[in-house]
Amino acid sequence: MALEIERKFLTLDDTWKASATGSAHILQGYFARTPLLRARIRIYGDKGFITLKSEGGKLIRHEYEYEIPKAEAVEMIKQFSIEPIITKTRYDVPYGGVVWAVDVFEGANRGLVLAEAELETPDQALSMPRWAGREVTNDRHYGNSSLARYPFVTWDKHGNPPPDGEDGA
């Protein structure tokens, strides 16, 4: 069974950039959403992927991801996306034995920067970098599918999503 064990944090500043070892542009669209499932097509750098994930806002989720031809991913995003497209640049930032994924969002989510650490086990110790701020692992509003529906630019000045914001990730 494919499991994703991931903790997610807001960033405090951009000092993580000094340690970044690589980056890739990401474009993704969602084509199905149910209370139990999020289904997306993603272009990650020069590769395409189709991904099925269980409901968000949890430390442990079921995740099934399959590589597909990039040209087909491009066409699927155009044909099947049910919401606005998420665009971001993902940076690889090694720290404390983990390669953190720092996502700098673009478009309607510009201004949002999230750092994610994928773990081997739920109780794995995680060394926290100074640039990692408040943990938002269990806040579904920070999930990409929720950000597609309720973009960061629609949130209030305190960083709160719209009151009718979705509770899915």
State pTM to two decimals: 0.91
What's the CA angle centered on 51, arms 161 and 84, to 5 degrees?
40
The domains of the chain are located at 3-154
pLDDT digits 0-9 by tens, 48-101 = 999 999 977 678 899 999 999 999 999 999 999 999 999 999 999 999 999 999
Please state, in angstroms and rounded to a whole number, the distance separating the CA atoms of residues 75 and 4: 27
pLDDT digits 0-9 by tens, 20-51 = 999 999 999 999 999 889 999 999 999 999 99
71: phi then psi, degrees, rounded to nearest 5: -60, -40
β strands within 59-146, DSSP E: 60-68, 86-95, 98-105, 113-118, 132-135
Q: Among 30, 91, 95, 150, which one carries the catalytic annotation?
A: 30
Structure tokens at 73: 């991913």
Known catalytic membership, residue 30:
yes
Residue 30 one-letter amino acid: Y
CATH 2.40.320.10 fits 3-154, yes or no: yes
pLDDT digits 0-9 by tens, 134-156 = 999 999 899 998 999 999 999 98
Residue 158 predicted with pLDDT over 90: no
